[in-house]
Structure 1
Amino acid sequence: MHSLRLRGMNRVHFNRRILASTNAKFFMSRPPRARKSLFLLGTICLLSAHLGCSSTQYADKADEVVEAPDGSTPVDDLGADRWCSDFGQPGLDTTVERAWAGNMQLKAAWARLEQAEALAEIAEAPLWPTLAARAEAEYQDRQFGGAGISTSGGGPEPFWQISAAAAYEVDIWGRHRHRAKAADLEAEAAEAQARALAITLTSEVAEAWFDVIAQRERLELLEAQLKVSEDILAIIKQRLRRGLAGALDAAQQEANVESLRGQVSEARGLLETSQNRLAVLVGEPPEGEDFVDAATLPAVEPIADAGVPANLLERRPDVRASYLLLEAADERTAAAVADRLPRLQLTASIGFQAEQLAKLFEQLFWSIGAGISQSLFEGGRLRAEVEFSEAVAKEQLYLYADTLLEAMREVRDALVLEANQRERIESLRRELDIAESVVDLARKRYSTGAVEYLRVLTGLQELQQVQRALITARRQQLSNRISLCRALGGSWVEDVEPSIQPDD
């Protein structure tokens, strides 16, 4: 399992405590003269801090740009801390879990998380000393000594050496710490983005699932309407042969029948494409597997409008990811500022050397040192890097504000559409009752010759249209509820696990 809580910030903080303790022990263990030299170097570094510049923490300005929700509570009736499983569709929940494990886009998101975690480990590396070992054998021309006097019989002589060297940059200004913190925050953001994608995927699977059911209902309705229209056409033709109906009546009904046949063909195509879409979301080839075991659209229970959740930042992983990226941009700005300040480098080496391999370990040499470096002229590059980093942080601040605003809008829109769509469905049901009464009355009057068949045909077409509109409205109601579930987010997304482990 990818868990930044196990690998990320806690481990970095633990590592940094070890480094701080190690630095203190190293300093106190030096001889007095060495300690004085280190102290002098450190004093020079501290004095040079005045040459640096401070950076703006844009994450602290987030509340000034956009106000978070004002303390309203989430919609409890939805069970918002879990996926909306109140649809009464166990097969849907199973299909969602299959999509979590098999969807290719989600697998790619987990792979991006692995990349971010690896980059975080790379960013932590400069916090530790480097250690290198070296062994070499070479021939040196030692014909002349320091005064130009021959020291041998002439010709090159062998020279053997084995050594180990260590180097460590004292992170006085936090240059490496800021970069490591930024990389950890970016890794956390990558995990949040993967979980945000899981929410989007879940909603898409649910949409495709209900699309399949809606297309089945629509196809069954159209086939039933076609059967009724064909029966009516047969009756009109029979009446035409008996001289009780006109040719115009038959032609109008035939046109209605052909229109319905075209809609039946279209519905079959839409049903198949909906099934194909669902298969790809699950991560399977579109080979005709039937994932949907329900025949009718479920009813949606009403909910109360409780407003936008006050903890939307925690509930929505996309909002959380945007804020983490804002914090990471601040850390990178601080690192860019630290790049302008002096660097203190500690070095140490120890080894053996000899002109004869058998005597290699008889002559020991060692060295220890410290050095300070300061860039004096870079053509404005370091200053421009600070300005660039601050501009990136400023951009991320506004992107975060926009993400939070969009999240609040999505919740409010879903709640508004939820209420209005319920009224729309009730209106269509009343309209359906009226249309059925109109068709029944028109048929009776047509049978007695009181009205022309056009009145019957018009009423029948209106009835069929309302029946189809009711299916569309019920499908839209489910879509609105899915949008609300997606907009609210929730802790249920923490159950989504990476489908491919690193050892795979």
Structure 2
Amino acid sequence: MHAPVPTVAVPDQWSSPPDDSAQNLASYWQALGDPQLDRFVALALANNRNLAQAAARVAQARAGVRASRAAYFPQISGSAGVQRDVGDFANTDPQFSVGADAQWELDLFGQISGGVSASRAELAAAGFGLGDLQRLIVGQVAQTTVSARTLATQLSIARDTLRIQDDNLQIAQWRLQAGLVSSLDVEQARAQRAQTAASIPAIERDLAQAANAISTLIGEAPGSVRMALEQHAAPIPVPPDKVGFGIPATVLRQRPDVRQAEELLLADTARIGIARAQMLPLVQLTGNIGSASSGLNSLFDIVTGGLFAGVSQLIFDGGRARAQLDSARAAAAGSLAAWEQTILQALADVENSDIALTKARERVAQLAIARDAASNAAVLARSQYQAGLIDFQTLLTAENQLLSARNALSASEAERANAFIALEQAVGGGWDVNASDVATGATKGESKQ
């Protein structure tokens, strides 16, 4: 059984050629340099309950392969009994019997082998499904950790800004007492400080929710992740400058969702053969052997048996078999379309993530310049206000610009990190085909011929 050729035209190269640098896709998150992220991913791979469900589906599919292969062998059953008649003229001696029956279906037209092929493809699909879920879970853990680091950074920015605004309020109050300004400056300073203070609880709420989301992903109750993030504070992760990945054909073979869709197509293709075989003759061999006696010592003195070969052929079923064949063909056509759609989506994922990472880097560079300029402007405005050279509104504008610039830079740094994660996911990073559960499903599916 071979994979059909998709009608989707896969390009030879990407629109923007990637770097040639080699990297470990299976553990790409380590390139972000956050030890806590490394720890969270390891815990998620070991304890995530959705991954446990996927691993159970692999085990279920593996059992299905064994069940389908059992049809190659004869079915043998044994029986034994004892009978004793009762009544006035009955023979009171017990009658003992023992026997065995066997039935064997010959796989002349591929009904059994088709079932085995379908079950093996389903096992491979389950293995690749587990790999794809690993890819997605790793990405979720990484992006949620980036979100938590970003919120922690923004919380630090808000608290730093609040301390500066406390100083501004005190300066405005001193200048009011000295008769240098009106109470307008004090009220503006109070309003600015209150707005910043009001933003802190919202950031703390979002940070707690991000930590709880990580807890769910790594299979732990809420609480420990928040503590770990606070004890091991770190800046927003910075991705490497160069990110390399293969040509489109290579990336598609690395994407587990594409491989899963391909295996599901193979399974449905095998079912076409099963449906066709049901319309052809069925050859069965049946046999029996047995013995009966009134005494155990003579039970096997006379052994009788028989062997029968039979052929059955469907003549009329109201069109059911033909309908089942048509249904199998339609299912395979649908699986082919799903496989091609998965290929198209995978190609789009790479292109979109690649351009997103490139543009995020450009934004970070410009916003860093804006942050530095806003910081210098705020320092100058603060000193000039203290000297009475500008009014408080000018200082207020400079302070707000600095706060906005710092938050915009942190958000852009998060976008850059998330774009890197999305790109690594898009090229098939975050799963390992050599992992035990994935290998027993996916790699066995590749060698099923």
Q: Please, what TM-score do these two structures have when normalized by structure 1?
A: 0.80
1:68 to 2:18 alignment: no
Q: Contact 1:58/1:397 (CA < 8 Å) preserved in 2?
A: no
Cα 1:407–1:452 change in 2 (3 A) is same
Corresponding residue of 1:427 = 366
Shift of residue 437, structure 1, vs aligned partner:
3.2
Secondary structure at the counterpart of residue 316 of structure 2: coil
Please point out which of 66, 69, 93 is paired with 2:38.
93
Corresponding residue of 2:303 = 364
Shift of residue 497, structure 1, vs aligned partner:
4.1
Corresponding residue of 1:108 = 53
Aligned length in residues: 433
1:99-126, CA deviations, whole angstroms, 9 ceiling, x for partnerless residues? 1111111111101111111112111121
Q: Contact 2:127/2:437 (CA < 8 Å) preserved in 1?
A: no
Q: Specify the code of the residue in structure 2 equivalent to 1:121.
A: R
1:318-348, CA deviations, whole angstroms, 9 ceiling, x for partnerless residues? 1101100000100011101111111000112
Cα 1:212–1:251 change in 2 (3 A) is same
Separation in 1 of the partners of 2:2 and 2:195? 61
Secondary structure at the counterpart of residue 255 of structure 1: helix
Greater Cα radius of gyration, structure 1 or 2:
1
Separation in 1 of the partners of 2:161 and 2:253? 50
Please point out which of 154, 179, 187 is paired with 2:123.
187
Separation in 2 of the partners of 1:77 and 1:222? 39
Separation in 2 of the partners of 1:248 and 1:431? 29
Secondary structure at the counterpart of residue 86 of structure 1: helix
1:369-425, CA deviations, whole angstroms, 9 ceiling, x for partnerless residues? 100111211121111111111111111111111111111111111110111001101
Segments of 5+ residues of structure 2 without an aligned counterpart are: 441-449
Separation in 2 of the partners of 1:186 and 1:492? 19
Q: Specify the code of the residue in structure 2 equivalent to 1:485.
A: E
Q: Contact 1:435/1:459 (CA < 8 Å) preserved in 2?
A: yes
Q: Contact 1:58/1:394 (CA < 8 Å) preserved in 2?
A: no
Q: Specify the code of the residue in structure 1 equivalent to 2:72.
A: L
Which structure 2 residues correspond to residues 200-349 of structure 1 after superposition, within 5 A? 200-289=136-225, 290-292=227-229, 293-303=232-242, 308-349=247-288
Q: Contact 1:107/1:498 (CA < 8 Å) preserved in 2?
A: no
Shift of residue 477, structure 1, vs aligned partner:
0.7
Shift of residue 262, structure 1, vs aligned partner:
1.1
Which structure 2 residues correspond to residues 380-391 of structure 1 after superposition, within 5 A? 380-391=319-330
Separation in 2 of the partners of 1:491 and 1:108? 18
Separation in 2 of the partners of 1:75 and 1:81? 14
Q: Contact 1:75/1:307 (CA < 8 Å) preserved in 2?
A: no
Separation in 2 of the partners of 1:190 and 1:276? 29
Separation in 1 of the partners of 2:294 and 2:18? 80
Which structure 2 residues correspond to residues 397-436 of structure 1 after superposition, within 5 A? 397-436=336-375
Corresponding residue of 2:316 = 377
Corresponding residue of 1:170 = 106
Separation in 2 of the partners of 1:457 and 1:132? 91
Which structure 2 residues correspond to residues 43-82 of structure 1 after superposition, within 5 A? 59-60=3-4, 62-64=5-7, 66-70=8-12, 76-77=20-21, 79-82=23-26
1:188-230, CA deviations, whole angstroms, 9 ceiling, x for partnerless residues? 1101110111111111111122222222211111100000011
Greater alpha carbon shift after TM alignment, 337-346 vs 201-210: 201-210
Separation in 2 of the partners of 1:387 and 1:115? 28
Q: Contact 1:182/1:329 (CA < 8 Å) preserved in 2?
A: yes
Corresponding residue of 1:32 = none
Q: Contact 1:102/1:282 (CA < 8 Å) preserved in 2?
A: yes
Secondary structure at the counterpart of residue 221 of structure 2: coil
Q: Contact 1:329/1:389 (CA < 8 Å) preserved in 2?
A: yes
Secondary structure at the counterpart of residue 76 of structure 2: strand
1:350 to 2:350 alignment: no
The percent identity for this pair of structures is: 28
Separation in 2 of the partners of 1:209 and 1:307? 27
Corresponding residue of 1:13 = none
Q: Specify the code of the residue in structure 1 equivalent to 2:203.
A: A
Q: Contact 1:178/1:334 (CA < 8 Å) preserved in 2?
A: yes
1:132 to 2:74 alignment: no
Separation in 2 of the partners of 1:449 and 1:279? 52
Cα 1:294–1:498 change in 2 (3 A) is farther
1:225-272, CA deviations, whole angstroms, 9 ceiling, x for partnerless residues? 000011101110111122111222211221111111111111111222
Separation in 1 of the partners of 2:353 and 2:21? 15
Segments of 5+ residues of structure 1 without an aligned counterpart are: 1-56, 144-151
Cα 1:425–1:415 change in 2 (3 A) is same
Secondary structure at the counterpart of residue 397 of structure 2: helix
Shift of residue 482, structure 1, vs aligned partner:
0.6
Greater alpha carbon shift after TM alignment, 431-440 vs 271-280: 431-440
Shift of residue 156, structure 1, vs aligned partner:
8.6
Corresponding residue of 1:83 = 27
Cα 1:374–1:81 change in 2 (3 A) is same
Secondary structure at the counterpart of residue 79 of structure 1: coil
Shift of residue 186, structure 1, vs aligned partner:
0.3
